[in-house]
């Protein structure tokens, strides 16, 4: 048996202790690591995505909707959380956050244990959503009354930040609110100086009338007969208000002209939707240049399915779809389908930069703004996805987005028939 003297014993004890401490330290999270875990109730996708200004992180959900992932960063940053809808987070190195979210309620249900700043952003969004900047005070109240309402709005938001110790974050949020309030304060002052009392009352009543109509649904889905009836009803309502409330001939003429322009715009938009190629009809061809300046046409891909994405670098929802689009491209790489993206950016360099930095795949084309493709396919908002058949027909002029599980089902259905 080997016996240690007292000095040897203590030396050995210290060495073993240091070794154990070292082992324990290596098992701990890096001080720059951020750990996010949680559960999505009623998930609509099998992943959850977190996006910063220059990085995207994706976590896979278990069958119970649970997820966990970690990443490192040397500074605090804002994240965009995406799972069906989008909300914001604020994280800092060392955070360990437990997230819970019910997609049936989304913003009303989201909670971040371990991140008061993220909870603040969620509360801020709800307060902003519930506050009516174009209230009766805006149209009919005094500037002082409106400013008081804005002051209370700011106070209610900042009150939600009382538990946050990160003064830099709180100060930035306060400055953002101040900029927002200044915008509406200036808007109120301009509105007061530009309109007499009778016109202000008319515009308030007109706004109440408009709140009764869901113009997006009316224009997008209603048949032409129903649309014309609604338009006539709306036109008569606004004309009655003009006759009742507006006094001067000049103001009457001005408001009638604005009404005529509004009606014409709605009718033009409705006709564009009706006249666009419908499902089963031949598509309308287009030609735009690719990243090397070569002219590329939609018709050059006949013989393959074409999944078309109309987007722009400045469009947040467009960029939120990029990771899902990349996954689709990888999953269907060996299939007879072309992924075609058309940017409506006016800044070509900005488009080229994002194509390179994001390593965007598929065929990338530049339309130089809202051009023929947006007119021919009645595109008034982006992103817009479409699917075309191998023989040049429209399968869907409003196809599901890459983040939608139905997209793969649609692909598989038509690829099986090729």
List active site positions: 315, 318
Q: How far apart are CA 180 and CA 297, in angstroms?
A: 44
Question: 3-class secondary structure for the chain?
Answer: CCCCCHHHHHHHHHHHHHHHHHHHHHHCCCCCEEEEEEEEECCCCCEEEEECCCCEEEEECCCCCEEEEEEECCCCEEEEEEECEEEEEEECCCCEEEEEEECCCHHHCCEEECCHHHHHHHHHHHHHHHCCCCCHHHHCCCHHHHHHHHHHHHHHHHHCCCCCCCHHHHHHHHHHHHHHHHHHHHHHHHHHHHCCHHHHHHHHHHHHHHCCCCHHHHHHHCCHHHHHHHHHHHHHHHHHHHHHHCCCHHHHHHHHHHHHHHHHHHHHHHHHHHHCCCCCCECCCCEEEECCCCEEEHHHHCCCEEEEEEECCCCHHHHHCHHHHHHHHHHCCCCCEEEEEEECCCCHHHHHHHHHHCCCCCEEEECCCCCHHHHHCCCCCCCEEEEECCCCEEEECCCCCCCCCHHHHHHHHHHCCC
**59 strand-pairing partners:** 48
């Amino acid at each position: 048996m080997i016996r240690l003297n007292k000095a040897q014993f203590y030396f050995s004890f210290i060495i073993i202790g240091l070794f154990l401490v070292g082992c324990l330290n290596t098992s701990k999270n890096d001080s720059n690591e951020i750990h996010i875990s949680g559960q999505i109730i009623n998930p609509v996708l099998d992943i959850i995505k977190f996006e910063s200004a220059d990085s995207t992180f994706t976590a896979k959900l278990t069958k119970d909707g649970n997820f966990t992932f970690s990443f490192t960063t040397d500074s605090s940053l804002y994240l965009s959380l995406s799972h069906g809808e989008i909300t914001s987070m604020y994280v800092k190195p060392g955070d360990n956050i437990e997230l819970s979210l019910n997609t049936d309620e989304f913003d009303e249900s989201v909670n971040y244990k371990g991140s008061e700043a993220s909870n603040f952003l969620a509360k801020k969004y709800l307060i902003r959503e519930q506050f009516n900047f174009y209230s009766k005070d805006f149209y009919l109240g005094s500037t002082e009354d409106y400013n008081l309402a804005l002051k209370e709005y700011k106070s209610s938001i900042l009150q939600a930040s009382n538990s946050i110790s990160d003064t830099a974050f709180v100060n930035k949020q306060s400055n953002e609110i101040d900029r927002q309030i200044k915008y509406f304060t200036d808007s109120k002052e301009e509105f007061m100086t530009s309109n007499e009392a009778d016109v202000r009352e008319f515009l308030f009543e007109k706004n109440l009338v408009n709140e009764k109509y869901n113009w997006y649904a009316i224009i997008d889905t209603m048949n032409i007969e129903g649309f014309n009836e609604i338009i006539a009803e709306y036109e008569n309502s606004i004309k009655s208000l003009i006759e009742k409330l507006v006094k001067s001939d000049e103001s009457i003429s001005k408001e009638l002209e604005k009404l005529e322009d509004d009606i014409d715009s709605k009718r033009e938009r409705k006709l564009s939707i009706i006249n666009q190629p419908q499902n089963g009809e031949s598509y309308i061809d287009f030609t735009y240049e690719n990243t090397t300046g070569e002219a590329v046409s939609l018709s050059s891909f006949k013989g393959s399915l074409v999944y078309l994405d109309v987007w722009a670098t400045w469009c947040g929802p467009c960029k939120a779809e990029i990771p899902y689009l990349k996954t689709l491209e990888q999953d269907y790489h060996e299939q007879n389908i072309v992924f075609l993206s058309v940017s409506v950016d006016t800044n070509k360099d900005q488009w080229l930069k994002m194509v390179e930095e994001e390593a965007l795949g598929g065929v990338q084309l530049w339309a130089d703004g809202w051009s023929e493709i947006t007119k021919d396919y009645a595109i008034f908002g982006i992103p817009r996805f479409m699917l075309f058949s191998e023989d040049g027909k429209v399968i869907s002029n409003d196809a599901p987005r890459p983040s939608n599980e139905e997209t793969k089902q649609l692909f598989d259905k038509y690829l099986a028939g090729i």
